[in-house]
Structures are given as structure tokens and as C-alpha cells.
Amino acid sequence: MVAPEHTPPSAWPARKPRLLLVDDQPVQLQVLYRTLAGEYQLFMATGGEQALKVASEQLPDLILLDVVMDGLDGFEVLARLRQQRDTADIPVIFVTARGGEDIETRCLEAGAVDFIPKPINPSVVRARVRTHLTLKFQTDLLRTLAYVDGLTGVANRRQLDQRLAIEWARAQRHGSALSLILVDVDHFKAYNDLYGHQAGDDALRLVAACLREHVRRSTDLVARYGGEEFACLLPDTDADDARALAEALLAEVRALGIPHRQGAVGGVLTASMGVATRRGPAHPGWQPALLLGLADAQLYEAKRLGRARVCAAVLGQEGG
Ligand SMILES: Nc1nc2c(ncn2[C@@H]2O[C@H](COP(=O)(O)OP(=O)(O)OP(=O)(O)O)[C@@H](O)[C@H]2O)c(=O)[nH]1
């Protein structure tokens, strides 16, 4: 059975999808507006520069872009959208009067997902917009499933490994600092045994949210590293700052006040932290695994010394 047109496919978000309509002729914009108003949240631009500005401010789900415009034309706008990280993946449908024979091919080769000829047929526009939004939202969903931990909503191990490789290469290139905090919940097996697996899951969600709330720089990453273990990747963060942050996280996790009768201290759930920092000039033999290994060794040391504490070490020359 075909779903009625007003039933959004399941990958669609609960909010109204956001469309940016771009045409330098107000009459054409109005036609598009009348065709799509109601079902979508619409933004409009009457030129290329304005389109780029609105796109980066509003991050629409889909852009309907006129090809022939004064100033920046549609091809230039699309090329610039692709150069910006935030707008690079926004699908674009070109809308244009039939030009030369190869215009459709040119539009698709430039990276547009589709091409709609003017004068537009409203039901064709609505159908194509719907199709491309569905593809876009399915892609978003797959990306989320591939890179986000299902239980806690923070990054998963795959995302951590990829970001660590990127940040490691950057730190080596610039000789900049890169820190990693491994956070492991203390006596978590006992917690599960005492309070049940469901309560264990809830506790992991609370700890993840706590880490995310306090690891705040836009370049930082909080990830679930394994069962009851998390990682905080901190680019451009030297040993002292990383240690201070780890101490703060230690206090914040404890301050959650999650009761744990067999916890390490104070009858509440705590975590141990292992911190590793790389600094100074690049060393050709160094690999990201070295930073992970060092953080892991520090975590082990924190556990060995009685848990609910921070241990830290540095990879690289002193004062580098
Ligand atoms: N509820 C829940 N438990 C999990 C999850 N992942 C791992 N665990 C549990 O976490 C526990 C980890 O136990 P251990 O590795 O022995 O560590 P621990 O009991 O925390 O002891 P220390 O780390 O030495 O303080 C195991 O019982 C796992 O089953 C999860 O997603 N949900």
C-alpha cells in the first residue's frame, strides 16, 4: 500500500523539514513558495550571496537553487556550499528554464541531486522534494547509527578512532598538545549486581551526560570507549589543563550522587580517570595507539591506588 502524501516517512524528524528557496526573480520564488508552504519551513533568498548566508545560518535540509542569476550563479553557489563543512552535505536541486541540451547533465555533474525545469509543475516539485528529503533523512539516520552510541548518545568507538587519528596527525604536524582522558566507572559489576542491569544502563547515561556537559569546547569529543568506559579527546589541551579537567569530571561524577552501597568512596558511584598528553615535536615512530595505551596504563594505576582518582602522564619532552 502506498502511504498517503501527508504521512512523513519514518526517518523524518518530528519537526517540519527546512527548505531554502533561491531565485533572483521574486515571481518565481512566490510560485515555489505557494507550492511548498504548509508542509515545510521555508527560507528564501534572491541572490547567490544571500543564499550562502542563509544556508550557513539556517542549515536547511534541502535547497532549491536557481541556476541563472546575476552575481553568483547556481553553479558557483553550489561549489561554495560544498567547501563549507556545515553546508557541504546539504542536497541541492537545481531549478532552471530549459537551456542548452546539456544543462541537465551539467547540473548533475556539478553535484546537484536533481534538476527541475521551469516552468515548474507543482506536483512534480512536491514529489521530488519529498523523495530527496527522505533520502537525506535516511542518510542522517544511518550516519547517526554508525557514529553514535545507542545507549548514551555520545560518540561511539568508531567516531573516537577516526577523530583520534585526525587530531593525532594534526598535533604531530603542528607540534601541538593533544590530551586523552579515559574514564572508567568504579565497581560497576557490583552496581549491576546490586541494582540491576537497567539501573546500570541509567547510570551510564547519567555519567555520559555529565561528561558531555563539562567537556565543552567545540573541538572536544566525548565517546563511549567500551562497556562502562568513556574517553574524552581534547585537542590543543596541555597536561595541566587536561589533569584539571579530569579532576573536575571526577568531582562532577561523584556529585551526581548515584547511590552505590559498594562504591569506592562515600556510598556513591565514582569513576577513575587515566590522562595522557602528547606534546612537543613530532616523533616519527609515534602512533595514536601510544596515547591510548598511556591513558589506559594511567587508568590502571588509578584503579590500583584505590579508584576514584586521577593519574596522568605525558608523552613527549618536558616543557615542550
Ligand atoms: N548495565 C550495563 N552494564 C554494562 C554495560 N557494559 C558493561 N557493563 C558492565 O560493566 C561491568 C564492568 O565490570 P568490570 O570490568 O569487572 O569492572 P568494575 O566492576 O567496574 O571494576 P573496576 O573497574 O575495577 O572498578 C561488567 O559487569 C559489565 O557487564 C552496559 O551497557 N550496561
- The model's pLDDT over 12-24, given as tens digits with 9 standing for 90+, comes to 988 999 999 999 9
- ipTM of the prediction: 0.95
Query: What percentage of residues in the chain have a pLDDT greater than 70?
Result: 95
Nearest CA to ligand 1 atom 27: 189
Give me the sheet containing 62-66, strands edge to edge. Answer: 41-45, 18-22, 62-66, 92-97, 114-118
Q: Cell 561524577 belongs to which residue?
A: 253
Tell me the average pLDDT across 168-191.
96
Tell me the average pLDDT across 203-209.
98
CB atoms within 10 A of CB 209: 15
For residue 3, pLDDT over 50 is answered with no
Query: What percentage of residues in the chain have a pLDDT greater than 90?
Result: 83
Under 8 Å between Cβ of 208 and 237: no
CATH class of 157-315: alpha beta
**CATH homologous superfamily for the domain 18-146:** Response regulator (3.40.50.2300)
Higher pLDDT, 7 or 216: 216
Q: Is 5 exposed, middle or buried (0-12, 13-18, 19+ CB in 10 A)?
A: exposed
Best residue for ligand 1 mutational test, from 154, 184, 189 (most atoms within 8 Å of Cβ): 189
Question: Residue 59: its pLDDT value, please?
Answer: 97
Question: Residue 5: its pLDDT value, please?
Answer: 53
Q: Residues enclosing ligand 1, CB less than 6 A?
A: 151, 184-190, 192, 197, 200-201, 204, 227-228, 303, 307
Question: Residue 73: its pLDDT value, please?
Answer: 92
CB atoms within 10 A of CB 319: 6
For residue 42, pLDDT over 90 is answered with yes
Q: Which of 1-15, 62-76, 211-225 has the lowest mean pLDDT?
A: 1-15
Question: Residue 87: pLDDT band by 50, 70, 90 thresholds?
Answer: very high
Question: Residue 6: its pLDDT value, please?
Answer: 57
Read off the pLDDT of residues 278-306 as tens digits, 9 standing for 90 and up: 999 888 888 999 999 999 999 999 999 99
Q: Maximum Cα–Cα distance for the chain, whole Å?
A: 76
CB atoms within 10 A of CB 299: 23
Where along the chain do its domains lie? 18-146, 157-315
Tell me the average pLDDT across 84-108.
86
Mean pLDDT of the chain, nearest integer: 93
Q: How far is the CA of 58 from the centre of ligand 1 (A)?
A: 42
